[in-house]
Each structure stands twice: as structure tokens, then as C-alpha cells.
Amino acid sequence: MNDRAKALDRSGRWDQLPALEPSNELRRDLKEKMPGYRSHLHRHEWIKHGTCMQNANPEMYFRVSLKLLDDFNRSTARPLFTQHIKQWLDGKTIREAFEIDFGGNRADSLQIRCHNDGDRRLISELVVSLSGNTTQQTNIESLLENSTRINPGCTGGIVDSVGYQ
């Protein structure tokens, strides 16, 4: 990856990053499962994360990412978040759900990121530390087995609804 792409990514000018040419099926899946696709979030994700994936191309990286997202969305975390839209959700509750679904001490592999929006503290991202060889057949449980403990992040926040408020 060149310095210009890194600079564009850091400055949030994702629309100016090199275009990715996903298959029609992948493009459809990204539009459905990645609301930020329309703002070129996928280009940022490829630059920031995908280029670090060994022997990956954008198609493979996003297929694996969407598979892991599906694994996560089958957990109790998804309904936990949907039931708390526009409400405060405590980090401890999120971690407890994560441990129920993925095993004891797995919450050490989960980081909750928040940002302030006026007087609201919003949960903006969940980061999961994964370790191992990733393929399209990979499941989240196998990648959590040897994952690294990470900083837990914020203690909780409001689950924002989709779209601009």
C-alpha cells in the first residue's frame, strides 16, 4: 500500500481511495451488512485491516469478514443490541453475553469502542481480537482460541439507531 492511500485513509477521504471491484454477490452482501458501504467504508476497511491479512485479496478478506460477522450475529449479542437501541448498554452485560456464546474468558478478546456525540456516549464499534489462519470456512470460535487479551475499552454507551440522528 502506498503512502498516498494511507494518507487518504487517515484523513477520512475514503471515496478517493483506490476502487475495489467486488463480485456482484459480494457487493450485494456488503451493501446489506455494511451500512457504511455507501460512504466507501469498505475501502477503509481493506486499507486498514485487509491488507494485513496474509495472502488475501479484497474478495477473500470481505468474504471471511462477512462470515465472521454472521457468526457473531447468530450470538446473543445481536438481540442484546437490537433490544437496547437508543438505550444505555453496559459493557459488563456485553461481555457476559460474549462469554456465554463463545466460552469463558473470551470477553478478554473483546474491546468496546465509544465516541461522544454531543451529550451522548455512543457505542461505535466492537473489536474482537482473533488469531489463527483465516479462510472462508473459518469460524469465530476457532479464531478466539489463541486470541490476545486486549484493552476492554469503554464501560458502555448508548446503542445508536441506524442513520443520521
Domain with 7, as residue range(s), is: 1-73
How many Å apart are CA 109 and CA 145, to the nearest integer?
Answer: 10
The DSSP call for residue 11 is: T
Quick one: residue 156, left, alpha or beta (phi over 0 = left, psi -120 to 50 = alpha)?
left
User: Residues 158, 117: one domain?
Assistant: yes
Total domains in the fold of the chain? 2
Instruction: Say which CATH number the domain at 87 has.
Output: 3.90.730.10
- What confidence tens digit (pLDDT) does each residue in 12-21 have? 999 999 999 9
Q: How confident is the model at residue 1 (pLDDT cuts 50, 70, 90)?
A: low
Which residues neighbour 149 within 8 Å (Cβ) at sequence distance 6 or greater?
Answer: 108, 109, 129
User: Residues 9, 31: one domain?
Assistant: yes
Task: Name the pTM for this structure.
Answer: 0.81
Least confident range of 38-42, 96-100, 147-151, 161-165? 161-165
Helix (H, G, I), strand (E, B) or coil at 73: helix
Last residue of a domain, one of 48, 73, 98: 73
User: Residues 69, 80: one domain?
Assistant: no
User: Residues 113, 163: one domain?
Assistant: yes
